[in-house]
Structure 1
Amino acid sequence: MAHIINLRTFKDTRGILTVLDSVVDFEIKRLFYIYAVDDSDRGGHRHHDTHQAAICIQGSCSITNDDNKQIETFVLDSPEKCLILNPEDWHVMHDFSRDAILLVLASTEFDPSDYIYEPYHPLREFKNTQQAF
């Protein structure tokens, strides 16, 4: 099940340092970031094998997740928050602030055959549930 972890962060008069050492329990094989997003949703898939960790390093965004047991929306509004997504987590990223930069760490290299685009629940039902959070 998807869940938020708080990243180890050190603050002093010089600034803030957030550490990603030993945060995820998978080997990181791919890094990417999403930014300059308009009002569109991103994602809308789950995976066969890929584990992910999502950190909004600037601005904010929301990720609505469905693991076929529970639908939950997570707000990433601090670079100290990290959302862990398992392969079975069908997720949609949305409500990006204008300045949002979403960094994603992934356990596999890009492979189109790893993606499952069909949601557990009809998209209309998912969207209606999403609004409740």
Structure 2
Amino acid sequence: MKLQDKCKIINFADLGDERGKLVVVEGGQTIPFDIKRVFYIYGSDATVVRGEHANRESEFVLINVAGKSKVRITDGKEELIVELNKPMMGVYIPKMIWKDMYDFSADSVLLVLASTHYDGKEYIRSYDQYLQMTRGTEENE
């Protein structure tokens, strides 16, 4: 399966009217998992790189609710760069996909929805280790 098929762009409905914008995000509905953790990244700038890891068990949806940023997603074979620049757009990142978030605008607020509670042991923080692990699973596919 191609990387862009695994890491789908999600377009949320804009339910706003003359009073303002309204975007609804629901776990198990518009988000393909039940949401266990929510966090956001702000105060970064164009020189900062966040992420730089893969997760063994966690799935994520990233949404820039203000400003913009980019996310580089790779499975070790293909690479996909997504610009998150609309608050009604997100990107789904399944488990065992490497991610780097970068090129943050000064007003960027990157909302992250996660399928699991935090567990530092499930993080793979070495890209070389990640490549070794994914090469082992490639042969079994």
Instruction: Specify the TM-score bucket, using the shorter chain as the normaliser.
Output: 0.7 to 0.9
Gaps of 5+ in 2: 1-5, 132-141
C-alpha distance in structure 2 between counterparts of 1:73 and 1:3, whole Å: 12
Matched letter for residue 8 of structure 1: A
In the TM superposition, residue 105 of structure 1 has moved relative to its aligned partner by 0.5
C-alpha distance in structure 2 between counterparts of 1:7 and 1:68, whole Å: 29
Find out whether 1:14 has 2:10 as its counterpart: no
C-alpha distance in structure 2 between counterparts of 1:58 and 1:110, whole Å: 24
Q: Which among 21, 33, 47 is matched to residue 40 of structure 2?
A: 33
Residue 99 of structure 2 is matched in structure 1 by 91
Partner secondary structure for residue 11 of structure 1: coil
Q: Which among 73, 91, 114 is matched to residue 65 of structure 1?
A: 73
C-alpha distance in structure 2 between counterparts of 1:20 and 1:98, whole Å: 24
In the TM superposition, residue 11 of structure 1 has moved relative to its aligned partner by 3.0
The CA deviation string for residues 40-70 of structure 1, in whole angstroms up to 9 with x for no partner, is: 1000000000000110000000000001231
Question: Which has more helix, going by share of residues?
Answer: 2
Partner secondary structure for residue 113 of structure 1: helix
Residue 74 of structure 1 is matched in structure 2 by 82
Give the fraction of aligned pairs with identical amino acids, expressed as a percent.
Answer: 36
C-alpha distance in structure 1 between counterparts of 2:109 and 2:64, whole Å: 6
Residue 3 of structure 2 is matched in structure 1 by none
Structure 1 outlier segments of 4+, above 4 Å: none
Partner secondary structure for residue 64 of structure 2: strand
Partner secondary structure for residue 118 of structure 2: coil
Q: Which among 9, 18, 28 is matched to residue 4 of structure 1?
A: 9
Question: Which has more strand, going by share of residues?
Answer: 1
Residue 55 of structure 2 is matched in structure 1 by 47
User: Could you tell which deviates more after superposition, 41-50 or 19-28?
Assistant: 19-28
Residue 139 of structure 2 is matched in structure 1 by none
Residue 24 of structure 1 is matched in structure 2 by 31
The CA deviation string for residues 62-101 of structure 1, in whole angstroms up to 9 with x for no partner, is: 0000012310100000001011001121000000000000
- Tell me the TM-score normalized by structure 2: 0.82
